[in-house]
Structures are given as C-alpha cells and as structure tokens.
C-alpha cells in the first residue's frame, strides 16, 4: 500500500485533505503539532480525527516555538473578532514560517518511512491571506525538498507536496468531505479554544459561512 | 545594529560562521537544537560558544524528532568508525531534512526579531556528502523562503541565507576562524559524545586532518 504523510491539525481543511488522501489509496501517517498554541483543543481533535480515519501511525510532536515565533496564536495577543476579511492585511494570527516548519518535519518523517508523498490542506481561495498557503509557495517548497533529502537526490523517493484543496472554496471543501463521509463534528476550527467555538474569529466565520452555503440556513 | 539569526551547533563550522557574522557587524541571535541527539555535548558547547562570541540572544530549542527521523545520530545505530570517506555513499549519520528543519525555525525566528539575515555554516567542499549542505540546495531554500513569510512577501525583509563557508575547505575554515580569534577548544565536533573525542567518526577525522594541515604535526 502506498504511504503518505498527512499534516493533520484536526481542523476542517486538514481533515478533508486526509480523507482525500485515504480515498486515493494512501495509508496515512499523520503528523500533528503541539507548538505552544493558546489552547490544546486542536491536538485533542486531531487525535479524534486520526481515529475516525483509521490512520496507520499518528505522531503528535511537541515543540514550543512560541519563544521564537511571535503570533496571536502562540502569545498573549488578542485574537481579532469580526475582522474585515476583505482587507489585504495579513492578520495577527499569522504564525511566522508555520507551514515551512510543518512541511520540513513532514519531509523528515516521509523519508524515514520511505515515501515522498506529503499532503497539506492549504487553499489559496478562502483563506486569511497567509503567504504559505499559496500554490507559488508550495511549488518552490517542492523544488527545494527535492534537493534536500538523501531519498530525493538519490532518486529513491521524489518528493510530491499534494495540495488537493489548493483551488477549492471552503464550501467546496466541505462538499468534498461530506461525499467522502467526513464527520465534521469531530473537527475544530476556532482560534480561541473555548468550550464552544467563539463565532467571531476568521476561522469560525469562514467555516460558518461555508456550511451555510452548503447546507442552507 | 543589523541583526542575524545564526544556527549554532557548537561545532567548528557553525562557530566559525558565527564569528564571521560578528566580524561583518551583525548582532547575533543564536539558535541551537536539542533534537534527541545521542549526547548533550553539542548543546553544552553551543552555550559556551555563544558566551565566547557575546551573542545578543541564544535560544536552545528542544524538539525530539528522533521518533520521526531515523538516523544514527538520533537512534541507537552504531556510528561508523574509520569509514571510507571517498565513497559516494551518504553515511548513516545523515539526519533526514535536518538543515531544512533548522533553517525553517531560523526563518520564523528571523521574522519575529525583524531581520531576513540567516547564517548557516555549511560547506560543499569538506563534508560527508549530505545533500542539504550544497549551494544548489541553499539557493532553492532561499527562493522558497522569500515566498513563505509575511515579512518577505510584503517586502519588509528579504530573506538571505548566508553561507560564508560554502566553498571553504575545513582547513581554510580554521584559518579564517583563527584570524578572527576563535578559541576552538570551546567547540565540539565528535558524533559519539564521550568524555573525549573518539577520533574515528567522520567528524573527528575531518577536524583532525584539517588542524594537521593548518598547524602541522
């Protein structure tokens, strides 16, 4: 069976991405990060999602980089509520080099298990303007990765960064996931991490709007 | 004063690289990794080197990736003694995606302190054949990094990966360091991490041969 490393945060996008990888016949090696986020909801949900999808292996990697990476998600900065999402500004929830760090650890893991296939649930359509969610960035990453590892340079395992959601709207992502039987109640998107989703952060609002589009009021 | 993030392992190369950054007028923000190596000598020495060079900040980031990255340096595999270093084979001391992971965390740190300058002491001349020490790899990394961060894409801080040792032999690196006043007794190169250097791993042998070339018998 072919193997893939899937970056799994326990949110809507990464869960759908993992379900797609599974539907394409990959055995899933999930990788989740506990990186000093303000709350531990994400890793709890990631674990549930991993079980739901029957992953082969699941590593939850602890790595406190809040000291070196300033962000509202890792430090005590307020998370913006009801922000103007049409603005061009990259919000304070941006985490420096996050996907670059995550993909780099996925790359090490992939080489270790003997695969070059890595899945990440980024989209350049409905997103918060983070630069490391764009196709142009992913292409440059893949090019670099193919010069970085022993498996890639010896031709043993060429690296492919799969981004099945890259051109999907959030609503299309949900449609895709529902068709694959994803139970979105097992996912978590809110940045705030209270008992229930706050409903006012970018992540809650993008999710709610998308579900409204898919399911109606 | 201009700032630079310097990857500092406490070895000969990274110490010389940091001394060069300092001589070029950079204020040094050092980053060291405790990544489940078989011994803690490296981080001890990195700390001493940081003090010797008067770094502005020094983060020692703990991140156990031995679970996901198989290597003789992170797992219980024997470290080769007196290996044929003319062989084209990449040795078992290779750590999957190591420089990619280190540079990615350096990238986050650089953005957080407001700089795009990152120094790494790789050389494509006297090395063990690791793919992530080559100029071609570093160029691809820099290109990717300039698409990855908010500071780079907004034009605030272009990313430059400085590799002052890239075309130096180990002996030339030592000459350069001695000229800058580096005390190499404060550095550690051995892979094995015993009380004294083993003298038989690649790292010990490259170091000894270079010192012999510089200082004579």
- Cα separation, A117 vs A105, in Å, equals 13
Contacts of A127 in chain B (CB under 8 A): none
Name which of A90, A101, A147 is nearest B150 (Cβ-Cβ): A90
Q: Which pair of structure tokens corresponds to residue B81? A: 């003694």
Q: pLDDT tens digit string along B95-126?
A: 899 999 999 999 999 999 999 999 999 999 87
Residue B91: pLDDT band (50, 70, 90) is confident
Q: Number of Cβ pairs closer than 8 Å across A and B?
A: 158
pLDDT value of position B87: 77
User: Does residue B41 register a pLDDT over 70?
Assistant: yes
* Structural contact between residues B39 and B197, judged by C-beta atoms closer than 8 angstroms: no
Domains in chain A (CATH in brackets) are 2-215 (3.40.50.620)
Using the structure block, give the residue that is written with the tokens 């006297």.
B126
Smallest CA–CA separation between A58 and chain B, in Å? 10
Q: Which pair of structure tokens corresponds to residue B16? A: 């010389």
Closest residue on chain B to A5 (Cα): B68
- Cα separation, B158 vs B142, in Å, equals 9
User: Does residue A30 register a pLDDT over 80?
Assistant: yes
pLDDT value of position B216: 87
Smallest CA–CA separation between B195 and chain A, in Å? 29
Parallel, antiparallel, or unpaired: how do β-strands A160-162 and A117-119 relate? Answer: parallel
* Structural contact between residues A132 and A99, judged by C-beta atoms closer than 8 angstroms: yes
Residue A131: pLDDT band (50, 70, 90) is very high
Closest residue on chain A to B138 (Cα): A144
For the whole model, what pTM was predicted? 0.93
Q: Which pair of structure tokens corresponds to residue B85? A: 């270093």
Flag if B108 and A97 touch (Cβ within 8 Å): yes
Closest CA to B165 of B189, B204, B138: B138
Closest CA to B163 of B99, B111, B206: B99
Flag if B131 and A112 touch (Cβ within 8 Å): no
Contacts of A62 in chain B (CB under 8 A): 63-64
* Structural contact between residues A108 and B99, judged by C-beta atoms closer than 8 angstroms: no
Q: Which pair of structure tokens corresponds to residue B199? A: 């003298």
Q: pLDDT tens digit string along A76-116?
A: 777 778 888 777 778 878 889 999 999 999 999 999 999 99
Spatial neighbors of A86 by CB under 8 A, at least 6 apart, are none
* Structural contact between residues A166 and A138, judged by C-beta atoms closer than 8 angstroms: yes
**Angle at CA B77, nearest 5°, toward B74 and B80?**
105
**Angle at CA B52, nearest 5°, toward B138 and B192?**
65
Find the helix packing angle between B98-113 and A135-148, rounded to 10°. Answer: 140
Using the structure block, give the residue that is written with the tokens 């082969």.
A56
Using the structure block, give the residue that is written with the tokens 């005590």.
A76
Q: Does residue A2 sit in helix, strand or coil? A: strand
Mean pLDDT across chain B: 91
Flag if B150 and A95 touch (Cβ within 8 Å): no
Q: Which pair of structure tokens corresponds to residue B60? A: 């020692």
CB hemisphere CA count around A168 (13 angstroms) = 18
Contacts of A69 in chain B (CB under 8 A): 108-109, 111-112
Flag if B69 and A111 touch (Cβ within 8 Å): yes
pLDDT value of position A38: 63
Residue B31: pLDDT band (50, 70, 90) is very high
Q: pLDDT tens digit string along A142-166?
A: 999 999 999 999 999 999 999 999 9
pLDDT value of position A71: 77
User: DSSP string of chain B?
Assistant: -EEEEEE--SSHHHHHHHHHHHHTTEEEEEEEEE-S-S-SHHHHHHHHHHHHHT-SEEEEEE---TTT---TTTSSPPPPSS--TTS-SPPTT--TTHHHHHHHHHHHHHHHHT--EEE----SSSS---GGGSHHHHHHHHHHHHHH-HHHHTTSS--EEE-TTTT--HHHHHHHHHHTT--GGG----SS--SS--S-SHHHHHHHHHHHHHH--
- Cα separation, B206 vs A158, in Å, equals 31
Mutate to test the interface with B, among A31, A32, A66, A104 (most CBs of B within 10 A): A104
* Structural contact between residues A158 and A110, judged by C-beta atoms closer than 8 angstroms: no
Mean pLDDT along residues B126-145: 92
When mean pLDDT is compared across A52-61, A70-79, A99-108, B24-33, the lowest value belongs to A70-79
Contacts of B97 in chain A (CB under 8 A): 104-105, 107-108, 111, 145, 148-149
Mutate to test the interface with A, among B35, B95, B112 (most CBs of A within 10 A): B112
User: Does residue B168 register a pLDDT over 80?
Assistant: yes
Q: What percent of chain B clears pLDDT 90, i.e. is strictly above it?
A: 66
Smallest CA–CA separation between B127 and chain A, in Å? 14
When mean pLDDT is compared across A57-71, A196-210, B94-108, B117-131, the lowest value belongs to A57-71
Flag if A108 and B97 touch (Cβ within 8 Å): yes
Mean pLDDT along residues B174-190: 94
User: DSSP string of A43-62?
Assistant: HHHHHHHHHHHT-SEEEEEE
């Amino acid at each position: 069976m072919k193997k893939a490393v899937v970056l799994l945060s326990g949110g809507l996008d990464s869960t759908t991405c993992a379900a797609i990888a599974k539907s394409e016949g990959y055995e899933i090696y999930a990788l989740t990060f506990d990186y000093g986020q303000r709350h531990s909801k994400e890793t709890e949900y990631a674990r549930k999602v991993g079980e739901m999808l029957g992953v082969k292996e699941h590593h939850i990697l602890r790595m406190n980089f809040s000291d070196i990476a300033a962000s509202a998600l890792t430090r005590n900065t307020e998370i913006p509520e009801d922000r103007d999402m049409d603005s061009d500004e990259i919000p304070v929830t941006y985490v420096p080099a996050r996907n670059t760090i995550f993909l780099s650890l996925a790359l090490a893991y992939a080489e270790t298990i003997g695969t070059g296939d890595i899945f990440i649930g980024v989209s350049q359509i409905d997103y918060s303007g983070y630069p490391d969610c764009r196709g142009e960035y992913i292409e440059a990453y893949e090019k670099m990765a193919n010069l970085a590892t022993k498996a890639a340079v010896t031709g043993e395992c060429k690296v492919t960064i799969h981004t099945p959601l890259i051109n999907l709207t959030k609503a299309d992502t949900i449609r895709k996931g529902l068709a694959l039987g994803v139970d979105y109640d097992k996912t978590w998107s809110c940045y705030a991490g209270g008992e229930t989703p706050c409903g006012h952060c970018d992540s809650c609002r993008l999710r709610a709007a998308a579900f409204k589009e898919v399911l109606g009021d």
